Structure 1
Amino acid sequence: MESILRKLKVEVNEHLYLKDPFSSELGIAIVQIGAKLLLELGVENFTFKKLAQEIGGTEPAIYRYFENKHKFLLYLTGWHWAWMEHNLAFRTANLPDPKEKLELAIRLLVEGPIITHNDYLNPIEIKNIVVNESLKGYLTKSVDLEHESGIFSQLYAFGERIAQMIREINPSYKYPKTLVSTVLEASLLQSYNSKHLPGMTESSLDKEGRFEFFHHLVLKTIIHE
């Protein structure tokens, strides 16, 4: 199954691109090299002009695939959440206990994808972009229109899968989607803080510590509400 996922071309909402980047060698170069450049520079300093120089192409050629760098960032984050959902579905397929499934889901949120190889994009590289940059893609004036066009469908689908696990454990818990989105965003922020704003978290809170924190938080919330 892992070999199948490795060759999987992850589907991302079509409103995020003008032309499917994986439909041509140029498009593949734009996404693969663009992801590396975005991770290196950050969204503020990343430009299509710099990307064109890296791939030996032109800015107009890049604009045939993506409307702007904002949509490019959302494309990469959409790819990440779709990939995370594939990881979650694969790893929980044979787990009958919803608590076990939820534990794995929280570990995914904290640690990133379990299956770390894909022939099209580097899941670890994309995960690091999501940690560093993804909230910048959501907190914008255009978010309502983007929501209406389904741009966040991959994120919603991943969150809903985890929310359903919470419902299985405690059907009477009223706020599964709110709890999932809170943990999802907080897990990204704590990963970011541990590297860049250490005063915002305990110095001992490594990856395993973050997992224990969020796992305890979620279970105590839904079982002892």
Structure 2
Amino acid sequence: MDKILQRVRVEVNENIYLKDPFSSDLGVDIVQKSMDMMLALGFENFTFKKLAQAVGCTEAAIYRYFENKHKLLLYLFGWYWGFLEQNLVYCTANLTSARQKLEIAIELLAKGPIFSKNDFIDPVKLRRLLTDESTKAIMTKEVDKEQKLGFFHQYYKLGERIAELISAYNPEYEFPKTLVTTIMEASLMQTYYENHLPGLTEKGDGHDKKVIFFNHLVFKTIAHES
């Protein structure tokens, strides 16, 4: 299974990019080095000029792949959630218990991909990047237009898949999508708080304790509707 997901390439909405970055060695280099630079500099200080210097190409070459750095971040955002969904599909393929499937979904959200090797993008590094920068992909003035263009398809798709697991576990629960999106956002934000604003969460909480917390939150919330 690990080898299968290692070769998986997430199909991101083609309207996000001008040229498929994985269609060339230069495009691959642009994506991989952009992750390193955003992690080091932050999204605000990251520019295509700096990226071009790191890659060893012209700025114009980068603009042939992405219209701007926001579109590049959107590409990485979609790729992460798409890869997480692939993990969920493979991890639950042979399970019949709705609870077990939901527990795996919660673990994936709290800890990141269970199968964490990939030939195209480092999912562990990508999770670290999105922990710091994911809100900048969504919370913009362009979000309504981008939503209509399907830019958040992978985000929607994973949320809907987990919401279906909640409904399978308890068909009477009224707010599966709201609960799922709350956990999806909080799964990254709690790690962000731990890293940067530790007064907003329990000190040294760690991934395993977050899994316990989110399990309590989800299953106790659902139980009230039984």
Common fold: TM-score over 0.5: yes
CA shift, 1:125, in A, is: 0.6
Tell me which moved more, 209-218 or 142-151: 209-218
Aligned counterparts, 1:72-151, within 5 A: 72-151=72-151
Measure the CA separation in 2 of the matches of 1:144 and 1:45. 25
Q: Deviations over 1:98-152 (max 9, x none)?
A: 1011111001101000111111110101111111100111111000000000000
Q: Deviations over 1:50-108 (max 9, x none)?
A: 00000100101100100100010010010000000000000000111010111110011
**Letter in structure 1 aligned against 2:128:** N
Measure the CA separation in 2 of the matches of 1:204 and 1:30. 34
Structure 1 stretches of 5 or more lacking a match? none
Q: Partner of 2:221 in structure 1?
A: 221
Aligned counterparts, 1:1-225, within 5 A: 1-225=1-225
Measure the CA separation in 2 of the matches of 1:99 and 1:107. 12
List structure 1 segments (4+ residues) > 6 angstroms apart after TM superposition. Answer: none
CA shift, 1:153, in A, is: 0.1
Measure the CA separation in 1 of the matches of 2:182 and 2:54. 37
Measure the CA separation in 1 of the matches of 2:204 and 2:126. 25
Measure the CA separation in 2 of the matches of 1:77 and 1:154. 9
Structure 2 stretches of 5 or more lacking a match? none
Measure the CA separation in 2 of the matches of 1:2 and 1:187. 23
CA shift, 1:39, in A, is: 1.5
Aligned to 1:102, the other structure's residue is in SS state helix
Aligned to 1:14, the other structure's residue is in SS state coil
Measure the CA separation in 2 of the matches of 1:205 and 1:3. 31
**Letter in structure 1 aligned against 2:208:** E
Measure the CA separation in 1 of the matches of 2:6 and 2:184. 25
Query: Is 2:194–2:204's contact at 8 Å kept on the other side of the alignment?
Result: no
Measure the CA separation in 1 of the matches of 2:94 and 2:7. 22
Measure the CA separation in 2 of the matches of 1:4 and 1:214. 28
**Letter in structure 2 aligned against 1:223:** A
CA shift, 1:204, in A, is: 4.2
The percent identity for this pair of structures is: 55
